[in-house]
Amino acid sequence: MTMLFGSIKVQINKQNIKKCQKEDLLIKLRQDFNNLIGESEFVINDLEKFEFLENKLHLLLKELYLLMDGWNLKDIQKEEFSFEINAIKSKLHKKRCNFE
């Protein structure tokens, strides 16, 4: 199967998609990617907008890799979210200890 991600043509092995049973997620990911590119076809002259677009594209690319490798996205996202929460709790605890 061939899919277009913006102007990038990607050849996808059907066996990988069937193995992980996530073809619908892959199609949604492609639509999100193409929508993001379509919305961003203007010249970005603001660094903040560029960094936002770069982060969004990075997350979509990461999802694509996870899908193609057959990972369970929900588990991965939960682990990352949990890691971020623990890091924030640690920072808040350190600040609180510094004030005491």
* Boundaries of every domain in the chain: 2-69, 72-100
DSSP-assigned letter for residue 32: H
C-alpha R_g of the chain = 18
pLDDT band for position 58 (cuts 50, 70, 90): confident
1, pLDDT greater than 70: no
pTM of the full predicted structure? Answer: 0.39
**Alpha-carbon span 5 to 33, nearest angstrom:** 6
pLDDT band for position 4 (cuts 50, 70, 90): low
